[in-house]
Chains A and B, each alone.
Chain A
Amino acid sequence: MTTTPIKPVSPAAPERSETPIIMGMIAVLAVLPLLGVYPYFVMQALCFALFACAFNLLIGYVGLLSFGHAMFLGTAGYASAHAAKVWGLAPELSILFGTLASGALGVLVGLIAIRRQGIYFSMTTLALAQMIYFFYLQAKFTHGEDGIQGVPRGLFLGVLDISKPLVLFYVVLAIFVAGFLLIYRTINSPFGEILKAIRENEPRAISLGYRTARYKLAAFALSAALAGLAGATKVIVSQNASLTDVRWEMSGEVVLMTLVGGLGTIFGPVVGAFIIIAMQQYLAEFGQWVLVIQGVIFVACVLAFRRGIVGEAAKVLRRNL
């Protein structure tokens, strides 16, 4: 009863470079606020997109479904918010601190969880995430339900005034692009090839002499750190860190984003994150109908676009996306 590995969408698709699409994506993102799209919305979505990409690195390329990824988003959030607000660290240092904190937590959690398979892995991560949640609920510095409010922004790298929305936007975009490219590179690195082999057939990889546990741990920690980067950036954007980010619902949300966009695709998580965040933002006006509309979209997704939006597109275009 283990999770069957998620199949890549178009396994035998001819190798075509994704570089033009990536450039295009960055270009589109960069002009969005100039076209009148609300920059805070894009920033919020970018943070979640990075979060989903980090999560997708695990599920899509290592075959590990973490159901506790919120703990990394939230840990980095609290760590950077505390660093910025209480210790008065510069924003880039706060973000770095949050990222490292999540990476370190990733190593710890990974050490425990990585030896479990399939659904039991997911459940171990969920269990640990709930304990972390409990810790944050009880800990004084997180201010419980109220969260850490009013996190200062300050000067990024000492020069960029990120209290200006547009400056902040481009800083966030740069962070996202850096994270995205790192993930993209990871997938297409020699290391990534080994990860794929492990996902496909772990005993065989072991028999070839790969210490698979270390590879999985490395991937897990990397994913945790990148999720942390997303969480820390998000805190600088929204200026608060709250329990929402460590709840299990958040761990579920990132699964949804990735599924809606397309598991194991390069751009799927980004598309999925934008869709879900847009839904939350724009459906908010529908008040009580939000839940129903969201539900209908998920059901429709599964029934009609099983591979996720990007996955379906990839199939139609017969290429990797």
Chain B
Amino acid sequence: MFNISTQALFAQLLVGLINGSFYALLSLGLAVIFGMLNIINFAHGALYMMGAFCAYFLLNVLGINYWMALILAPLLIGFLGVVLERTMLQRLAGLDHLYGLLLTFGLALIIQGLFQNYFGSSGLPYAIPQQLTGGQNLGFMFLPNYRAWVVIFSLTICLATWFAIEKTKLGAYLRAATENPTLVRAFGVNVPRMITLTYGFGVGLAALAGVLSAPINQVRPLMGADLIIVVFAVVVIGGMGSIMGSIVTGFALGILEGLTKYFYPEASNTVVFVIMAIVLMVKPNGLFGRA
């Protein structure tokens, strides 16, 4: 098992990077919501799933293609997020974040349950868009075009988000509002609206990841359920509230997981927790976390 060929290793690293893009995109949304709004958004996986279903329906019912879905699905699901925030989460402002967790967990159950009732558990197919079928033979591996697109696209989105939040004043408002919303509001910032929109944005990111994954994975009601805990771990390892932390950790975890899949595949679902335990032992606030 240990006669590693560099070629195989390269291939694993690349594949890991691809998976990392999903982790990064999902954990980014979760980090925005958690770090900024102090809501542990357990519905993230369910909303990710809805993003994928949204793409499916846009295509199969309305004939709207993948590229439009990439824009429309996050908007639609993001709007749903805004509604959820306005009608439910908002009432939990100022409470311990356990309550947000319980509420979003309940929402996740409802959403997943409903989808399962109507679409069954084995899911629906969604084809790779015409323009991105096929792939490149890199010598050491065959890289599907679609996967290459996923890496590039999510990296772009991640960096743009990071810029929008860390390099503009928005990030400072959000962080401050987490600590003391009353005061930030008294400074003249419409905190409730900002929180609503941020939640909608985080949810939109989840939906975007869902659309991206639709052509790769079967569009299944439970596709997000197993992911949520891993993605949450990524956010913690990166350091809660750190946007860059979640992006870097997302990609890094993808790669490490890829290597684990090669050397000790049985443990590939556990490796993230091993890393989390080690990181928290050495750096109590995560890799990029503020003390």
What residues of chain A lie closer than 8 Å to B95, measured between beta carbons? 306
What residues of chain B lie closer than 8 Å to A124, measured between beta carbons? 276-277, 280-281
Please encode chain A, from 261 to 300, with 1 for each CB lying within 8 Å of some chain B CB and 0 for all others.
0010000000000000000000000001111111111110
CB-based contact B284/A116 at 8 Å: yes
Asked if B241 is at the interface of the complex by the 8 Å CB criterion, the answer is yes
Pick the contact of A1 from B98, B241, B267, B276 — CB < 8 Å? B241
Pick the contact of B88 from A117, A138, A303 — CB < 8 Å? A303
Cα A256 to Cα B42 in complex, Å, equals 13
Please encode chain B, from 236 to 259, with 1 for each CB lying within 8 Å of some chain A CB and 0 for all others.
100011000000000000000000
What residues of chain B lie closer than 8 Å to A195, measured between beta carbons? none
Cα A303 to Cα B95 in complex, Å, equals 12
A293 to chain B, nearest CB (A): 8
CB-based contact A292/B105 at 8 Å: no
Say whether chain A's binding surface is mostly helix, strand, loop, or mixed.
helix
Pick the contact of A3 from B88, B96, B116 — CB < 8 Å? B96
Q: Could you say which of B65-73, B107-115, B181-189, B197-205 contacts chain A?
A: B107-115
Cα A65 to Cα B109 in complex, Å, equals 22
CB-based contact A131/B285 at 8 Å: no
Asked if A30 is at the interface of the complex by the 8 Å CB criterion, the answer is no
A27 to chain B, nearest CB (A): 31
Cα A101 to Cα B266 in complex, Å, equals 26
A265 to chain B, nearest CB (A): 14
CB-based contact B284/A115 at 8 Å: yes
Cα A248 to Cα B178 in complex, Å, equals 28
What residues of chain A lie closer than 8 Å to B176, measured between beta carbons? none
CB-based contact A296/B106 at 8 Å: yes
A303-B103 in contact given A117-B284, A291-B116 (Cβ < 8 Å): yes
A292-B113 in contact given A65-B98, A124-B280 (Cβ < 8 Å): yes
Cα A16 to Cα B229 in complex, Å, equals 42
Asked if A182 is at the interface of the complex by the 8 Å CB criterion, the answer is no
CB-based contact B240/A1 at 8 Å: yes
Interface residues of A in 99-139 (CB under 8 A from B): 112, 115-117, 119-120, 123-124, 126-128, 130-131, 133-134, 138
Pick the contact of A295 from B110, B229, B236, B267 — CB < 8 Å? B110
Closest chain A residue to B35 by CB distance? A1
What residues of chain A lie closer than 8 Å to B270, measured between beta carbons? 130-131, 133-134
CB-based contact B178/A120 at 8 Å: no
Asked if B92 is at the interface of the complex by the 8 Å CB criterion, the answer is yes
A131-B103 in contact given A3-B96, A3-B97, A295-B110 (Cβ < 8 Å): no
Closest chain B residue to A293 by CB distance? B113
Cα A307 to Cα B223 in complex, Å, equals 32
Asked if B216 is at the interface of the complex by the 8 Å CB criterion, the answer is no
Give the total number of A-B pairs whose CB atoms are below 8 A apart.
Answer: 121
A19 to chain B, nearest CB (A): 30
Number of interface residues of A (CB under 8 A): 43
Cα A288 to Cα B284 in complex, Å, equals 42
Asked if B82 is at the interface of the complex by the 8 Å CB criterion, the answer is no
Cα A138 to Cα B269 in complex, Å, equals 13
What residues of chain B lie closer than 8 Å to A150, measured between beta carbons? none
What residues of chain B lie closer than 8 Å to A256, measured between beta carbons? 102, 105
CB-based contact B99/A292 at 8 Å: no
Closest chain B residue to A119 by CB distance? B240
A179 to chain B, nearest CB (A): 24
Pick the contact of A127 from B103, B280, B285 — CB < 8 Å? B280
Pick the contact of B108 from A112, A119, A120, A295 — CB < 8 Å? A295
What residues of chain B lie closer than 8 Å to A293, measured between beta carbons? 113
Please encode chain B, from 118 to 131, with 1 for each CB lying within 8 Å of some chain A CB and 0 for all others.
00000000000000
A240 to chain B, nearest CB (A): 24
CB-based contact B276/A298 at 8 Å: no
Cα A128 to Cα B270 in complex, Å, equals 10
What residues of chain A lie closer than 8 Å to B110, measured between beta carbons? 291-292, 295-296, 299
Closest chain B residue to A290 by CB distance? B113
Please name 27 pairs of A and B residues whose Cβ atoms are closer than 8 Å in the assembled complex, sorted by A.
A1-B35, A1-B240, A3-B96, A115-B284, A116-B280, A117-B284, A120-B284, A126-B229, A127-B274, A128-B277, A131-B270, A131-B273, A131-B274, A248-B229, A255-B98, A291-B109, A294-B106, A295-B106, A295-B111, A296-B106, A298-B109, A301-B102, A302-B92, A302-B102, A302-B103, A303-B88, A306-B95
Known contacts A112-B281, A120-B280, A120-B285; 7 additional CB pairs below 8 A are A112-B277, A116-B280, A130-B270, A131-B273, A133-B270, A290-B113, A292-B109
